[in-house]
Chain A
C-alpha cells in the first residue's frame, strides 16, 4: 500500500447509528488531518493531529470524535449525525502540521450519506 488510504469508500447510515471512518498513511508523515467537502462549499478543515496529539479542533460538533492512536492511523467516530452531515470526508497527511507550505497528501475520501 502506498500513499493515504481511507475505508470505507462509501457509507450510508441512519441518524441513530454509530460508525467509524478509518485513514492510514504510509508516507512516514507526522501530521494527519480530517476535512469535510460539501457540495458548493470550500473544503473545511475539521481536525489536525501532530505526532498523535490533536492540535486543532475547528469548532466541529461533538457528534464527530477523532482518534489518532499512532502517527499512521486516524479515525473519525460518528454518532447521532444529521442529514446535513452528508458529505465527502477526506483524510490527509503532511510532513509537518505547523508549516502550511508543506504538501498535503489526500486519501480518496469516504462518501457519507446520513438518512
Chain B
C-alpha cells in the first residue's frame, strides 16, 4: 500500500505552461515536504508545509497543504526548462522522524 500517492507520474510540457502536481494520502500528516531531484543528484528540499490550509510561495512555485492535512499540491506558473526534474513529496505519518516518500512526478519542460 502506497501511503503517499503522487499524480501525475510523468508530465511533459512546453516552456511557459502552467502545471499542478498532487500528493494524496488517506493518512493525516503533521507536515509534508516537497523535494526536487535533478539527474545525478540527491533530492533537495523546496518547502515544508505544516498548517492545514497553508499556502507557501517560492517564486513561480505555489505549495498548498490540504485543510485536513492529508494532501498537498505543487503548482508551477510559466514553467521553464530549469524546472525539469523529479518532484517528490514526503511526510512522517507516525511522528517518529522516519520520512516516507511518494513515488515522484517526473517533469520535463521543453524549450
Q: Which chain A residues have a beta carbon within 8 Å of chain B's beta carbons?
A: 4, 31, 40-43, 45, 48, 56, 58, 90, 92, 94, 96-109
Q: Mark B1-22, 1 if CB is under 8 A from A, else 0.
A: 0101000000000000000000
Q: Which chain B residues have a beta carbon within 8 Å of chain A's beta carbons?
A: 2, 4, 30-31, 33, 40-45, 48, 50, 88, 90-92, 95-104
CB of A4 within 8 A of CB of B42, answer yes
CB of B42 within 8 A of CB of A106, answer yes
Identify which of B44, B92, B96, B97 contacts A106 (C-beta below 8 A).
Answer: B44
Instruction: Give the interface SS of chain B, mostly helix, strand, loop or mixed.
Output: loop
Which residues of chain A come closer than 8 Å to B104, judged between CB atoms?
Answer: 42
Instruction: Give the interface SS of chain A, mostly helix, strand, loop or mixed.
Output: loop
Q: Which residue of B is nearest A88, CB measured?
A: B42
Identify which of A4, A42, A97, A106 contacts B2 (C-beta below 8 A).
Answer: A42
CB of B33 within 8 A of CB of A103, answer yes
Docked CA distance A99–B94 (Å): 10
CB of A42 within 8 A of CB of B100, answer yes
Docked CA distance A110–B36 (Å): 18
